[in-house]
Chain A
Amino acid sequence: MLKINNLHASVEDKAILKGINLEVKPGEVHAIMGPNGSGKSTLSSVIAGKEEYEVTDGEIFFDQENIEELSAEERAHKGIFLSFQYPVEIPGVSVTNFMKTAINETRKAKGLEDMPANEMLKLIREKSELLEIDRKFLSRSLNEGFSGGEKKRNEIFQMAMLEPKLAILDETDSGLDIDALRIVANGVNKLKSKDNAVVVITHYQRLLDYIVPDFVHVLYNGRIVKSGGKELAHELEEKGYDWIKEEINS
């Protein structure tokens, strides 16, 4: 589904990713871990197509297609979803209105008519129930005055509505208390299927207690320096990142 070859990327001429290789297949859950400043968020932004990041070398394939030339919205239309670490506020635009626009723009890109209002309402009801979201929440302005937990739950709600093939969760656990963490993780687990894939980017192991990864990769200084199974996450939790740094530097 996602194949990244020797990816180099920089922002404002500063090289951040220095040769990433990664393959994600349908049905898989990958965790990308690493210390601050290792390039985790850059990687998610580059996959999503943020313009400020320049790909200087390497390729990203999504469903066998090189997506380098595609805009962020085109990538979204193909089924790439990014759950933001810091979701932005859009005052005056309700969650429902935002979702309606996003869904209809995606349908339009596929040559489909707007989703009929009754279908939209049904979908909203279904997904909000799935994620235990109070429907009053959906008429509030997008992320405006939301608590950290509400923002992240809203991201997962959007993921549920858009039904992406590939979901990248960027530090979805940051700012969440344990109850909110469980709700968000349960949401992700309910949405998982054999046809879609999840990439979890996280600093800590605790989210991985709830969303259990098939593979764990350690990102350090712009490269994936170590890959393994879910036990690798536990090892990192116990020993920290220093031993990996030492391993590399020696």
Chain B
Amino acid sequence: MSKYTEDDLREELKTKEYEYGFYTDIASETFPVGLNEDIVRAISLKKEEPEWMTEWRLESFRIWQDMIEPEWANVHYEKPDFQAISYYSAPNSKPKYDSLDEVDPELLETFNKLGISLDEQKKLAGVAMDVVVDSVSVATTFKKTLAEKGIIFCSISEAIKEHPELVKKYIGTVVPQKDNFYAALNSAVFSDGSFCYIPKGVKCPMELSTYFRINQAGTGQFERTLVIADEGSYVSYLEGCTAPSRDENQLHAAVVELIALDNAEIKYSTVQNWFPGNAEGKGGVYNFVTKRGLCETNAKISWTQVETGSAVTWKYPSCVLKGDNAIGEFYSIAVTNNYQQADTGTKMIHLGKNTKSTIISKGISAGKSQNSYRGLVQISPRAENARNFSQCDSLLMGNECGAHTFPYIEAKNKTAQIEHEATTSKIGEDQIFYCNQRGIDTEKAIALIVNGFSKDVLNKLPMEFAVEAQKLLEISLEGSVG
């Protein structure tokens, strides 16, 4: 944390516009716009997938065709025209590289601008990178170290080819094709994503990390992530996202499935910073994501997310606590500014006995934004002694934003213990003046107050991610008071 000085912050604050707003011109191979069975087949063919995968995609497509876009979320936007999107785009410079020297220099430059130069990343102890640019994995590092432990960490396309038995067994088991509109769409057209398998009893020795990036004008991004932690294993997975600024809205509909088998633990952390649209609410990414984890007996899944980007967010990382004694956790900070809208939260489905869940949600709204927490705690009839604790806090800045809380509780077992706490507060002029009087300017005062408000969640993030997240919070709220 010490490396990041206030001067760095000041420098960053000078660029009020989205700072990663550049566009990399790498000759791309892009499909024509539109979606039909031929396009789905073409994607599958392009990725040299086995027939079962093609069929799975087609089945998903047919399901999707009969579904309608959900409207229950507390967000308003112009629905995307799904026939105006190109569903495949890949950087041209294939084949895969053995070393970074072979990577397109312009692409490396992109990484440099993002501050995630692979050269540095390689040296960074303990972090393996599987970088996804425009839907195709370009480079994977640390693979060898992981391979020695039997850990598989690769792109999902590669997994479909190299480990079909694992993919076939687990894909769609937590988020079925018909789960929801966007999940069905993703299942039909997913371009790439990450795959991770931790064998029985193995503790993954490093944080696994993936950077996503949307980079081709008008290209929807449909990532698919599958993480399987076999019995008694442990993995911490980091996901961070940035995107170039663009005027037309970019659709992002990812699916993440986590499977924690008996006694396994998965920690999944996200810092999301996609282009939120400009100060007038123009442009920005639509982020409609389905994330869900399945916990078998004594297993544990923790979702931690810091959401600062996107024009519209629709996202509920959830846990199905299937086995007895399973634990689900959800820690979230969602920041909205200007015209951003977020409807986010979690579902904790208690099926097993003695299952426990914890929900801590911190919503920060500024500008003219709308920030909603939506959560479901469901206790099934056979879930004896299930426990849940939920805390939903909202912080408002200014008079034109909104914070909403929609907690749903369905308890079908009398032994359940459910606690829900909620607070709403406002950054007061009195707080700002108090800080000013101690020599702290308004910008810094807001950062201090917001960090204090978010501390419980920031503390759950791995160290290097926590620094990035803190920076993002400060940048996202720049100029939002006074």
Interface residues of chain A, those whose CB is within 8 Å of chain B, are 48-52, 71-73, 76-77, 81-82, 84, 87-88, 90-93, 97-98, 101-106, 108-109, 141-142, 158, 162
Q: What's the minimum C-beta distance from B356 to chain A, rounded to whole angstroms?
A: 24
Q: Which of B421-473 contact A (CB under 8 A)?
A: 428-431, 433-442, 444, 448-449, 451-456
Q: In the complex, A73→B433 CA distance in Å?
A: 9
Chain A contacts of B120 at CB under 8 A?
none
- Is B6's CB within 8 Å of the partner chain A? yes
Closest beta carbon of chain A to B108's beta carbon, Å: 34
* Bound Cα distance A50, B448 (Å): 20
User: Given the interface contacts A98-B448, A102-B438, does A72 sit within 8 Å of B453 by beta carbon?
Assistant: no
User: Is there an interface contact between B453 and A106, defined as CB atoms closer than 8 Å?
Assistant: no
State how many angstroms separate the Cβ of A77 from the closest Cβ of chain B: 5
Query: How many residue pairs at the A-B interface have CB separations less than 8 Å?
Result: 74
Contacts A/B (CB < 8 Å), 25 sampled: A51-B433, A71-B441, A72-B437, A73-B436, A73-B439, A73-B440, A73-B441, A73-B442, A76-B437, A76-B439, A84-B437, A88-B430, A90-B435, A91-B453, A92-B451, A92-B452, A92-B453, A92-B454, A98-B438, A101-B444, A101-B448, A105-B438, A105-B439, A105-B441, A142-B452
Closest Cβ of chain B: how far from A172's Cβ, in Å?
15
Cβ B436 vs Cβ A141 within 8 A: no
Which residues of the other chain, B, contact A72 by a CB distance below 8 angstroms?
A: 433, 436-437
Min Cβ gap B442→A in Å is 8
Q: Is the CB of B429 within 8 A of A105?
A: no
Number of interface residues of B (CB under 8 A): 24
Nearest residue in A to B436 (C-beta to C-beta)? A72
Q: Are A88 and B452 in contact (CB under 8 A)?
A: no
State whether A48 touches B430 (Cβ < 8 A): no
Give the distance in Å from the alpha carbon of A98 to the alpha carbon of B448 in the complex: 8
Contact in complex: B440, A101 (CB < 8 Å) = yes
New A-B pairs, 10, CB < 8 Å, besides A49-B437, A97-B448: A73-B439, A73-B442, A82-B437, A87-B434, A90-B452, A91-B452, A91-B453, A103-B439, A105-B438, A141-B452
Looking at B428, B438, B451, B456, the one whose CB has the most chain A CB atoms below 10 A away is B438
Distance between B427 CB and nearest chain A CB, rounded to angstroms: 10
Identify the interface centre among B451, B454, B455, B456: most chain A CB within 10 Å of its CB: B455
| With A93-B448, A101-B448 as contacts: A108 and B6 at CB distance below 8 Å | yes
* Shortest beta-carbon distance from B367 to chain A in Å: 21
List the B residue with the shortest CB-CB distance to A143: B434
| Bound: A105/B451 CA distance, A | 17
* Distance between B270 CB and nearest chain A CB, rounded to angstroms: 21
- Measured between C-beta atoms, what is the minimum distance from B396 to chain A in Å? 14
| Residues of chain B whose beta carbon lies under 8 Å from any beta carbon of chain A | 6, 428-431, 433-442, 444, 448-449, 451-456
**Residue A52 contacts which of B429, B436, B454 (CB distance < 8 angstroms)?**
B429
- With known contacts A92-B452, A92-B453, A101-B448, A162–B431 Cβ distance under 8 A: no
Query: Which of A49, A50, A158 contacts B438 (CB under 8 A)?
Result: A158
CB distance from A171 to the nearest CB of B (A): 15
Q: Is the CB of A88 within 8 A of B438?
A: no
Measured in the bound complex, the distance between the Cα atoms of B440 and A142 in whole Å is: 15
- The list of the 6 closest CB pairs from A to B, nearest first, reads A92-B452, A93-B452, A72-B436, A76-B439, A102-B438, A106-B439
Find out whether the CB atom of B438 lies under 8 angstroms from the CB atom of A162: yes
Residues of B within 8 A of A77 (CB): 439
Once bound together, how far apart are the Cα atoms of A109 and B451, in whole Å? 22
In the bound assembly, the distance between CA atoms of A72 and B453 in angstroms comes to 24
Instruction: Give the residues in chain A near B440, CB-CB below 8 Å.
Output: 73, 101-102, 105
CB pair A88–B431 under 8 Å, yes or no, is yes
- B439 CB contacts on chain A under 8 angstroms: 73, 76-77, 102-103, 105-106, 109, 162
Q: Which residue of A lies closest to B444 (CB)?
A: A105
Q: Which of B434, B444, B451, B456 contacts A88 (CB 8 A)?
A: B434
The answer to whether A93 and B428 touch (CB under 8 A), given A76-B439, A82-B437, A102-B439, is no
Q: How distant is B384 from chain A, measured CB to nearest CB, in Å?
A: 36
Q: Are A93 and B449 in contact (CB under 8 A)?
A: yes
Chain A neighbourhood of B430, CB < 8 A: 88
| Bound Cα distance from A106 to B434, whole angstroms | 14
Q: Are B436 and A71 in contact (CB under 8 A)?
A: yes
Q: Complex formed: what's the CA distance from A184 to B379 in Å?
A: 53
